[in-house]
């Protein structure tokens, strides 16, 4: 009998892991911050962690910065207020509030990095955002003459 209870417990636990808890949080609207100019000038990088409380409608109710450099933390905290999460219902009853931690990893790319899909910032499910910054590519038209007095 004890083995049977143990087996049923494992079965319930595995079903919970596969299908998730009905109180589980899923972001349904995500905003990715831009890299703050002051942080680029200071060459500031790093991980920012923000504890977020979500109300019963899936809106952000409060935030608390738990780790990270100042300029990056402020940027991340501002955009978290735009996030929206799934509502949670269990047998027709809504959960009053839930919380989660959202991590933002700020990365400065080397100055010789060419823009591509691999250099874009991205969101990774469930709650991680990588914010990347590379110097914008500036191209000069080699056929133009800067001393040309003709006006276009």
Q: pLDDT tens for residues 77-92?
A: 999 999 999 886 655 5
Percentage of the chain with pLDDT > 90?
45
> In the predicted model, what is the mean pLDDT of the chain?
78
User: For position 150, what pLDDT does the model report?
Assistant: 57
* Phi and psi at residue 103, to the nearest 5°: -110, 135
Calculate mean pLDDT across residues 119-124.
87
How far is Cα 152 from Cα 142, in angstroms, rounded to an integer?
Answer: 17
Instruction: Identify the weakest region by mean pLDDT among 21-25, 66-70, 76-80, 116-120.
Output: 21-25
In this prediction, residue 12 has a pLDDT band, given cuts at 50, 70 and 90, of very low
Calculate mean pLDDT across residues 5-17.
37
Q: Which range has highest mean pLDDT (3-7, 28-32, 46-50, 117-121)?
A: 46-50
Q: pLDDT at residue 96 above 80?
A: no
Q: How far is CA 34 from CA 54, 108, 113, in A?
A: 23, 12, 18
Contacts of 60 (CB under 8 A, 6+ apart): 52, 53, 54, 80, 81, 83, 85
Calculate mean pLDDT across residues 91-100.
72
Q: pLDDT at residue 139 above 70?
A: no
């Amino acid at each position: 009998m004890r083995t049977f209870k143990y087996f049923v417990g494992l079965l319930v636990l595995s079903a919970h892991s596969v299908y998730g808890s009905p109180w589980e949080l899923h972001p349904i609207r995500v905003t990715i911050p831009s890299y703050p100019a002051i942080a680029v000038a200071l060459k500031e990088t790093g991980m920012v962690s923000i504890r977020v409380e979500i109300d019963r409608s899936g809106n952000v109710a409060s935030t608390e910065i738990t780790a990270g450099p100042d300029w990056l933390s402020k940027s991340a905290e501002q955009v978290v207020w735009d996030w929206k999460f799934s509502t949670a219902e269990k047998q027709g009853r809504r959960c009053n509030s839930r919380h989660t931690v959202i991590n933002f990893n700020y990365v400065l790319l080397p100055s010789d990095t060419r823009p591509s899909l691999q250099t874009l910032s991205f969101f990774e499910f469930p709650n991680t955002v990588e914010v990347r910054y590379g110097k914008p590519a500036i191209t000069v038209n080699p056929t133009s003459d800067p001393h040309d007095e003709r006006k276009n």
